[in-house]
Structure 1
Amino acid sequence: MKEIEKIRQYADSLRLTLLKNHPESLIHEAQIDNPGYLGFTLNLLEREIKQRQKTDLERRLTLARLPKDNDLAQYDFNHSNGISKPQLKELRELLWLDQNYNLILMGPSGTGKTYIASGLVHDAVKAGYKAYFKTMEELLTILRMKEMTGSAMNAYNRLLKANLIAIDDIMLFPMKKNEAVAFFNMVNHLHEKCSIIVTTNKSPKQWAETLDDEVLATALLDRLLYRCEVIKLDGNSYRMENRKSIFNQ
């Protein structure tokens, strides 16, 4: 039908994705329910808004680059690691994010640092914030390549406009001087504009050794710790206590 094709074209021009992809079913549904002109228009616009919100959320979750496990509703409090259910609930309310507070999650491997960080990024994205999860290695790659490739520069510009950035395994490996300076410059630019979550298995005192520059480490910590909650996680590794086997139990 020519009318259907015109509807598709007009819907495409107006970015009405639902109407563009399903005009026949929407019209057939209206013919059966007979909602009237006002009801049909209102219903169509409401469904388009929901579809656009769903698509936008999916896009932002993809850009956040989250690990597979990030649903804090499934957090296992039976595994004691130093964070309580009320504390996690308060963090998930994201009031600290509106105040540009930072979080440092510090502790041995397997104590839930990455899970908590990625879960809070997931919550932030769902709440409408621009939030991203990066390993330190991924972040350093962006900083190294941003002057060379458009994709790295685009990723860097997105980070500069973020509301929340989680940096996983900071200071795990030594950094070259130019990488450390580039990282400091980014943190300095984001200072009091964006919340940063850091996961680390090293104390702040050990950062100077990793950076091989006590002055730079002090300046970096000065910005991260200014408005910051340091959460020390401990206990045994959750992964080791719940490791899987290829053999039947």
Structure 2
Amino acid sequence: MINNNERLSNLTRLLREMKMSVMADHLSDIYTNQSNQNLSTLDILEKIITEESDTRSRNKKERYRKAANLSVINARLENLIYSSKRKLKPETIEQLSTNNYILSNNNVIIQGATGTGKSYIACALINHAIDNGYTGLFFRMTDLLSKLQQADYNNNLDRLLKKISRTDILVIDDFLLTNTTEQEQKYLMEVFEIRSREKSLILCSQMTSVEWHKKLGGGAIADAILDRAVSKSYKIFLEGESLRKIK
């Protein structure tokens, strides 16, 4: 007859085979701890299933965070600096913290001089979204264009565009600091087109939308990109001294 220790060993082995190692470890801990002897079957199940679920949730968020490639890994909405000089409105951040802009397929445009905290806000928004089960990707514009060009050269452009289309939030930092070539404009048009269907963009830039139009060539492609970027968007305009100088 199989004793309880053997039964426990078999159960933990089965749990590990089903890739539920946290449940297996927690079940062993509960069984060997004398203070748990009076727990009901439901109590035990609740404990081990909750622990497995919580661990998987934490691990998934960490995977999402790592994949997002954030420039400021620990950026958090609760650490944002509000001041009259900076012009950052708490009510705007409160609106964005609901993540409704993601559900509504709206964009966020963050504009301001260098050092005013545009990238930090974008990373904080992604971190907040990841905490709530969403995914994100962060690119500097030069890096994004370089990856698109390389993927195109290697006949992998469709694969990269599919990856860009799947993520819930795409951040393009340092957006349109310099003029773009015709080919770069076409790449950007592809990105903005696939994002405009059902996903959100966060654009961080020192330039105004009028300047964007010029840097996109001033033609039909510029019109199309700006229409997709600006028409459904929350706008944050940052002012004040560089936060880097303040530090």
Count of matched residue pairs: 240
Amino acid at match of 1:64: A
What does 1:132-171 correspond to in 2, within 5 Å? 132-147=137-152, 148=154, 156-171=161-176
Q: 2:105 matched to 1:100? A: yes
Sort the Cα spacing of 1:91 and 1:51 in 2 relative to 1 into closer, same or farther, 3 A: same
Q: Tell me which residue corresponds to 1:64.
A: 68
Q: Tell me which residue corresponds to 1:88.
A: 93
Give the whole-Å Cα distance in 1 for the aligned partners of 2:194 and 2:235.
21
Give the whole-Å Cα distance in 2 for the aligned partners of 1:37 and 1:177.
66
Give the unaligned 5+ runs of structure 1. 243-249
Sort the Cα spacing of 1:241 and 1:149 in 2 relative to 1 into closer, same or farther, 3 A: farther
The one of 37, 40, 45 equivalent to 1:41 is 45
| Residue 22 (structure 1) shift | 5.8
Aligned-partner SS, 1:174 = coil
| Residue 112 (structure 1) shift | 1.6
The one of 10, 30, 35 equivalent to 1:32 is 35
The one of 109, 112, 121 equivalent to 2:114 is 109
| Residue 97 (structure 1) shift | 2.1
TM-score normalised by the chain length of structure 2 = 0.86
Sort the Cα spacing of 1:175 and 1:57 in 2 relative to 1 into closer, same or farther, 3 A: same
Sort the Cα spacing of 1:53 and 1:231 in 2 relative to 1 into closer, same or farther, 3 A: same
Aligned-partner SS, 1:212 = coil
Q: Please report the RMSD computed on the Cα atoms of aligned residues, expressed in angstroms.
A: 2.5
Sort the Cα spacing of 1:22 and 1:81 in 2 relative to 1 into closer, same or farther, 3 A: same
Give the whole-Å Cα distance in 1 for the aligned partners of 2:134 and 2:243.
30
Contact 1:142 1:153 in 2 (8 A): no
TM-score normalised by the chain length of structure 1 = 0.85
Amino acid at match of 2:29: S
Aligned-partner SS, 1:191 = helix
Aligned-partner SS, 1:70 = coil
Deviations 1:130-173 (A, max 9, x none): 222221123223312334387x8765433211221111111023
Give the unaligned 5+ runs of structure 2. none
Aligned-partner SS, 2:198 = coil
The one of 47, 50, 54 equivalent to 1:50 is 54
Identity of aligned residues (%): 21
Amino acid at match of 2:207: K
Amino acid at match of 2:57: Q
